[in-house]
Amino acid sequence: MEPVTFKGNREGVVVQLNSNLSFEELCTKVEAKIKSADSFLGNNTEVIINSGSVVFDDGQAQKLRGLFNSMGLGIKKFIPEVNQQGGEANDMFIPEVIEDDNYLLAQGSTLMVRKNLRSGQTIFHEGTVIILGDVNPGAEVIALGHILVLGNLRGIAHAGARGDTRAVVFASRLQPTQLRIADFITRAPDGEILVPSEPEIARIKNGMVVIEKYLQK
C-alpha cells in the first residue's frame, strides 16, 4: 500500500497516510504526492488528514500544517482510520458508567472503534473513545475524555489526557500495562496478575487512581 493516497468524500479531499516510515520520510512522501496531484486537488484549498493508526504529537502536527501551508493548502482536521459518531454513542453507553457530575465531560464527540487494537497501534481522540473489541499489549488509547473498552484492556490507556481528572477508564476486563488519568498513573503489578472476572472502572479519588468493580445501577 502506498504511504500517501488521496481520496474524495462529501467533506472534500482526504489524505490517507499508510506508513511505517519515519516522520521526516513521511513528510517527503507527502510533499511529492501533493506536487503530482494538482489535477485531483482541483480548487480544494483544505484537506482532511486520515492518520490511520499513527498519532502525531503537537510538534509533528504543526510541521505538517506548515508543509501543507507552504504548498497553498490548509488542514481542515486530523482523523484516525476508524469511524466517528456523535451523541448516539453517548446515549447508548456513557451515562451508565459515569456519575452525573461527570456527564458533561462526555458531551463532546465520541469515537467508536469497531475492532481489536494490535500491538503498535495508537488511537488518539479529542473526546471520548469507545472500543468495541480488545486493546492488546503494545496498543495505546489516548483520549481527552473517557475511555470505555467493551472487551479486554491489556495495553496502555490514558484518559483525560489534557489534565481532566473527571475522566474514567472502563473495561469489561481491566488488565492494562499502564493506566493513566490526567497526570495520575498506575502500572500493572510485578509477578502473577489476577484476571478480573467482571467489569471494572478506574477513576481519580483522593488524589490517586482507584480501580473498582463496576456495579450497574
User: Is 11 a residue whose pLDDT tops 90?
Assistant: no
Residues 92, 73 share a domain = no
Residue 7 CB coordination number (10 Å)? 11
How far apart are the C-alpha atoms of 205 and 73, rounded to whole Å?
A: 46
More confident position, 167 or 197: 167
- Asked if pLDDT for residue 21 goes beyond 60, the answer is yes
Mean pLDDT of the chain: 78
Q: Which three cell numbers stand for residue 15?
A: 489524505
Q: What is the pLDDT of residue 84?
A: 41
The per-residue pLDDT for range 128-143, each reduced to its tens digit, is 888 888 999 999 999 9
Residues 54 and 114: their CA atoms lie apart, in Å, by 17
pLDDT band for 37, please (50, 70, 90 cuts).
confident
Ranked by mean pLDDT, the top range of 12-26, 74-88, 113-127, 197-211 is 197-211
Domain match, 63 and 94 both: no
Q: Per the structure, how many domains does the chain have?
A: 2
Nearest Cα to Cα of residue 201 among 189, 188, 216, 185: 216
Query: What pLDDT does residue 92 have?
Result: 38
Q: How far apart are CA 172 and CA 194, in angstroms?
A: 14
Question: What is the pTM assigned to this prediction?
Answer: 0.57
Q: Does one domain contain both 25 and 102?
A: no
CATH of residue 9: 3.30.750
Q: How much is the pLDDT for 85?
A: 43
**79, 102, 122 - which closes a domain:** 79
User: Does the pLDDT of residue 74 top 60, yes or no?
Assistant: yes
All three cell numbers of 110: 465520541
Instruction: Specify the CATH number for the domain of residue 157.
Output: 2.160.20.70
Residue 144 and residue 160 in contact, taking contact as beta carbons nearer than 8 Å = yes
Domain that holds residue 53: 4-79
Nearest to 72 by CA among 47, 50, 49, 48: 47
